[in-house]
Amino acid sequence: MLDREVLEAAATWYVNLSAAPACEQERQAWRNWLADDPRHAKAWAQVEQLQQRLALLSPELALPALADVRARRRAVSKVLGLLLMAGATGASLQALEPLSSRMAQYRTDKGERRELQLADGSQLILNTDSAVDVHYGSSLREIRLHRGELLLQTAKDPANRPLLVHTPQGSVRALGTRFSVYSHDGRSEVKVFENAVELRPASTPATMGRVEAGQQSGFDPRHLQPVTPLADASDAWIQGMLMAVDWPLQRLLGELGRYRRGYLTCADSVTGLKVTGAFRLDDTDTVLENLATALPVRVRYLTRYWVRLDAA
């Protein structure tokens, strides 16, 4: 295991280079540090592994917040903690992933989609970075979404068993329907394309909401979200496409970031630029290049897993 001092230096370089556009002098100093000692290059490789598996800096720590020295120190401590955890366990970085997700029956990696036909004839499509378990019993059909997003086209069951999709935040009961569920950041988002579903938050199961075709809603463990109209092409991801209509650049990058490893962000000055278009999710690097052509931005790669859009 590398010395704590070396890992802390790597974490500090990562945070400092992430905080703002680095000048060439700072980037050269980082390169010199990498070349100065084989341990430095090894420590940076571990940082890149973490970038590949995780977004190291949560939104509240990223970019403008890191202008504050104390915020940078907290961010360094967070990255260092992850590096030490991975090294101390002697395990791969996948050990940082919850056990339920790692042991799930069906999984997809970043940028991967997977289509499954279930025992009753229902069609299940997993979106990027998702994990599910499927259990069909004598009286109930259950799908447990540990993380990520699925789209389900239900089939009629000869035994008339209810079909439930469970997430960490609650459950969705299918009523002969086609719908998607996306579990992230402590909430579940539900979009209904055919017929209807019923929603129940985990901590208040007596609370029930109904969402009809052409509508969307969601829930956290205690509350239901309002029902709103479904946006056009909300299921375009099953064809590997993302449709944006007058989206702020920050929102678009947030969605693209789901389909690529590492950290994707933009400078404060360009977050509100409006974007409309159809984007291929299987080639996000080309999407970024096209954004740099269509908008007054430039794409800056610190590493292949760290990308930031700055004002041109």
Express each pLDDT in 12-31 by its tens digit. 888 877 766 567 778 788 88
On whether residue 235 sits in a domain, the answer given is: no
Q: What is the pLDDT of residue 51?
A: 67
- 17 CB-near residues (< 8 Å, 6+ apart): 26, 27, 30, 302, 306
Looking at the fold, whether 222 and 105 belong to one and the same domain comes out as yes
Q: Which whole number is the average pLDDT over 50-74?
A: 57
Q: How far apart are CA 241 and CA 244, in angstroms?
A: 10
Q: What is the pLDDT of residue 143?
A: 97
Looking at the fold, whether 112 and 203 belong to one and the same domain comes out as yes
- The pLDDT confidence band at residue 305, using thresholds 50, 70 and 90, is confident
Looking at the fold, whether 173 and 266 belong to one and the same domain comes out as no
On whether residue 52 sits in a domain, the answer given is: yes
pLDDT digits (tens, 9 = 90+) for 264-279: 889 999 999 999 999 9
Looking at the fold, whether 169 and 287 belong to one and the same domain comes out as no
Q: What is the pLDDT of residue 86?
A: 64
- The pLDDT confidence band at residue 70, using thresholds 50, 70 and 90, is confident
Looking at the fold, whether 35 and 80 belong to one and the same domain comes out as yes
- Tell me the CATH number at 178: 2.60.120.1440
Tell me which residue range forms the domain holding 41.
4-96
Looking at the fold, whether 208 and 224 belong to one and the same domain comes out as yes
Q: Which whole number is the average pLDDT over 133-147?
A: 94
Q: Which 3 state secondary structure label does DSSP give 216?
A: strand
Looking at the fold, whether 118 and 188 belong to one and the same domain comes out as yes
Q: How far apart are CA 108 and CA 101, in angstroms?
A: 10
Number of structural domains found in the chain:
3
Looking at the fold, whether 144 and 201 belong to one and the same domain comes out as yes
Q: What is the pLDDT of residue 21?
A: 59
Q: Which whole number is the average pLDDT over 195-208?
A: 94
Question: Which three-class secondary structure string do you get for 124-139?
Answer: EEECCCCEEEEEECCC
- The chain-wide mean pLDDT, for the chain, equals 86
* pLDDT of 88 strictly over 60: no
Q: Which whole number is the average pLDDT over 225-229?
A: 97
Which of residues 181, 200, 229 is at a domain's end?
A: 229
Q: Which whole number is the average pLDDT over 68-77?
A: 75
On whether residue 234 sits in a domain, the answer given is: no
Looking at the fold, whether 85 and 107 belong to one and the same domain comes out as no
Looking at the fold, whether 48 and 127 belong to one and the same domain comes out as no
* pLDDT of 227 strictly over 90: yes
C-alpha distances in angstroms, 156 versus 235, 238, 242?
Answer: 22, 22, 30
Q: What is the pLDDT of residue 93?
A: 47
* Contact in structure between 297 and 281 (CB atoms under 8 Å): no
pLDDT digits (tens, 9 = 90+) for 231-256: 999 999 999 999 999 999 999 999 99
On whether residue 69 sits in a domain, the answer given is: yes
State the burial class of residue 228 (Cβ atoms within 10 Å of its Cβ: 0-12, 13-18, 19+).
Answer: exposed
* pLDDT of 285 strictly over 80: yes
Q: How far apart are CA 13 and CA 28, in angstroms?
A: 12
Q: How far apart are CA 31 and CA 129, in angstroms?
A: 32
